[in-house]
Structure 1
Amino acid sequence: MNKGTVKFFNETKGYGFIKDEDSGKEYFVHVTGLVDKVKENDEVSFDLEEGRRGTNAVNVRRA
């Protein structure tokens, strides 16, 4: 499980981005990949899954 911070999340559109703590990479997250409700600057843990347009964060939980 990876750890990171929610850099951006738009509740209206249902998506955002998470910055990985270790690599500094940013991953797309869709509302369907959330376990807990998140907002910008939340510390989270997440898994990665290959999606149609690249790697997505899934199983996102607040840390």
Structure 2
Amino acid sequence: MAKGTVDFFNDTGGYGFIDTEDADEDVFFHMEDVGGPDLEEGQEVEFEIVEADKGPRAKNLERL
């Protein structure tokens, strides 16, 4: 599992990006993959990285 910090979150769109040393670029996530209350910028998270059409995407994301 990779660890990182929510770098950006768009609460209207329900998506954001995670800054992590485990990938060359920020990792995309969507709240449909998270559940629960919205994440906030600066929140530490743990997740799996999968390759999606537009780049790395977080799956099985958990708050730390």
What TM-score comes out, normalization by structure 2 length? 0.81
- Aligned pairs, how many? 63
Structure 2 unaligned regions, length at least 5: none
If the length of structure 1 is used for normalisation, what is the TM-score? 0.82
Distance 1:55 1:45, change over 3 A: same
Question: Identity over aligned residues, as a percent?
Answer: 43
Q: Deviations over 1:16-59 (max 9, x none)?
A: 00001455631111112214531110011010112121210111
After the TM superposition, which of the residue ranges 10-19 and 20-29 deviates more from structure 2? 20-29
Q: Aligned partner of 1:11: which letter?
A: D
Q: In 2, Cα distance between the equivalents of 1:10 and 1:46?
A: 19
Separation (CA, whole Å) in 2 of partners of 1:53 and 1:23: 14
1:49 is aligned to 50
SS in 2 for 1:13: coil
